[in-house]
Amino acid sequence: MTKEQADNGRDDMVIDGPGQANAVPDEFNANYLRIYYGKLFPHADMFKWMSYGNDGKHPGCDKSYFGRREFSFTLENDIYIRFQSFNSVTELENSIKEKCPFKIDIGPVYSVDPAKRHAYAQSGDNVFTPVERELVFDIDISDYDDVRYCCTGADVCLECWPLMTIAIKVIDTSLRDDFGFNHILWVYSGRRGVHCWVCDGKARRLTNEQRAAIADYFYVYKGNENSHKKISLPGLVLYPFLARSYTEVLKGFFEAKLLPNQNLLASEERYEKILEMIPDASVASELRRRWQENKRASMSKDDINIVRWEQLKSILQSGKQKMQGLRRCVEEIVFSYTYPRLDMEVSKHMNHLLKAPFCVHPKTASGRTEQGRTKTRC
C-alpha cells in the first residue's frame, strides 16, 4: 500500500438557481457514501462497460481482460491505494462496499494483472506494461478564469458553464467526423469540468505517440501547454476542423452568449484585454478613442457590447486593412475566449489515471455560499 497526500485545496462549484431555502450540511458524511455504494452505484454497468465483451459469456473472449484493469482507491485520511484489480463484478462490488473509497480512479489495462506486478518484476522480464486504455480528455472550467468574470476556480454558474458545452460540441464533432470514433462518453468530472472517454477499440489501442498526435491536433495555443491566452491559428486560411468549429459553434456562441453575459466590452478594464490582442497599435488606439468617447452614451451594457464589437469587426475586416494578421484578429479573439482548453497530459499518456464516472467524493458534497447560491464541493 502506498500513501500520497492528496490536494487539500478547497474547490467549490457554485451554480445559481432557485429553490435554495434548505441548506445542505457542509460536512461530508461517509455514511451517505456507504448508502450510495450499496444502493445506487452502477457496479454491474461499470463491469459490463469496461469488459468490452470480455465478460466470460462469449466464446473466444479474453477472460483475463477486466482483471488486468487498474483501479485506484482514495480512502479516508487520504490513504491512496493503486493497482487494485478485480476478476468479476462481484469482486469489484464487494471491494467498493468494504473499503468505501472516497474517490475512485481508473487506469489502463495492463499486460498482466497489476495486483501481481511485483512477481513479474522479480523475474527480470519487463512484461508489466499498459496495453489498452480509452482515449480520454479533461477540461476544467478553472482554466477559463482569464475570460470569465462571473466566477473563478471551481465555482460555476449558468453564465460560464456553457463554455463546457461549447468545448464538448467542438471536440465531440471532430472525434466523430475527423477521426471516425463512435463510442464516446462525456461525463461531469465530479469536480470542476468534464471528462471524455473515447471507447472504440481502435482508440483504446492507440500508442502514446498516436494519442499525443490527436491531442496536438486540437491544440492552437502559443507558448507552453498551460498558456491559454495566446492563440496561434495556422496558415492564411483556417483548416477545415478549425473553420467548422468557428463558423458552426464558436462565433455564434461568442457573439450571442459570452460577449453580453460576461460584458467583455462594457468596461475599460475588460475591453483593454481585447485591444491588447490587436497587433497594430494605431488600430487599437482608434478603437480605444471611440469607446472612451461613447462611454457616456445612454446605452445598456448589452447594447454597448454589441456596438463596440461591430466597430471592432468593421475596422479589422474592412478593405483598408490589407494585413492578413488584422483580418485574422477577429477569429483569434473568438478562439481565445471560447476554444476548448484541454489538459494535454491527460490525453497523451496511456497510463494516466482518470476519475471514474459516477464517482462521488467529499468535495462533491453540497452546501451554501454567503451569497445564497447553491455550492457543490467537488
Q: Could you give the number of structural domains in the chain?
A: 2
Question: How does pLDDT run across 193-224, given as a tens digit for each residue?
Answer: 999 999 999 999 999 999 999 999 999 886 55
Q: Which three cell numbers stand for residue 237?
A: 486560411
Residues 64 and 178 in one domain: yes
Q: Is 343 a catalytic residue?
A: no
DSSP structure string for 6-63? ------EEEE--S---SPPPSS--HHHHHHHHHHTS-HHHHHHHHHTT-SSSSTT--T
Q: Are 138 and 217 spatial neighbours (Cβ–Cβ below 8 Å)?
A: no
**Based on the domain organization, do 249 and 327 belong to the same domain?**
yes
Active-site position among 140, 155, 331, 343: 140
Does residue 226 lie in a domain region?
no
Share of the chain above pLDDT 90, in %: 62
CA distance 375 to 378: 9
Let me know if residue 7 belongs to a domain.
no
**CA separation for the pair 147, 364 (Å, rounded):** 25
Is 225 a member of any domain?
A: no
Q: 290 and 334, same structural domain?
A: yes
Q: Look at phi and psi of residue 52 and say left if phi exceeds 0, alpha if psi is from -120 to 50, else beta.
A: left
Looking at the fold, whether 322 and 368 belong to one and the same domain comes out as no
Summarised one tens digit per residue, pLDDT across range 52-66 is 999 877 778 899 999
CATH number for 81: 3.90.920.10
Same domain, yes or no: 198 and 330: no
Is residue 227 one of the residues assigned to a domain? Answer: no
- For residue 298, the Cα-to-chain-centroid distance in whole angstroms is 40
In single-letter form, the type of residue at position 235 comes to G
Tell me: pLDDT of 234 over 80: no
174 occurs within a structural domain: yes
Among candidate residues 12, 113, 138, 332, the one labeled active-site is: 138
Domain that holds residue 257: 240-338
272 an active-site residue?
Answer: no
Q: What is the C-alpha separation between 116 and 122, in angstroms, rounded? A: 11
- Using DSSP bridges, classify how beta strands 12-15 and 69-75 pair: parallel, antiparallel or unpaired: unpaired
Q: Is the pLDDT of residue 149 over 60?
A: yes
In the chain, the percentage of residues whose pLDDT exceeds 70 is 80
Rg of the Cα atoms in the chain: 24
Task: Check whether residue 40 and residue 174 sit in a common domain.
Answer: yes
* Whether residue 166 sits in one domain with residue 263: no
Q: Identify whether residues 34 and 164 lie together within a single domain.
A: yes
Does the residue 178 lie in any domain? yes
Residue 128 · residue 115 · CB < 8 Å: no
240-275: pLDDT as tens digits: 999 999 999 999 999 999 999 999 999 999 999 999
Residue 280 included in any domain: yes
Classify 133 as helix, strand or coil. Answer: coil
Are 187 and 83 found together in one domain? Answer: yes
Whether residues 43 and 187 share a domain: the answer is yes
pLDDT (tens digit per residue) in 304-347: 999 999 999 999 887 665 555 677 889 999 999 999 999 999 99
Same domain, 209 and 358: yes
Active-site residue, 303 included:
no
User: For residue 1, is it within any domain?
Assistant: no
- Say if residue 298 is in the same domain as residue 365: no
| pLDDT higher than 50, residue 67 | yes
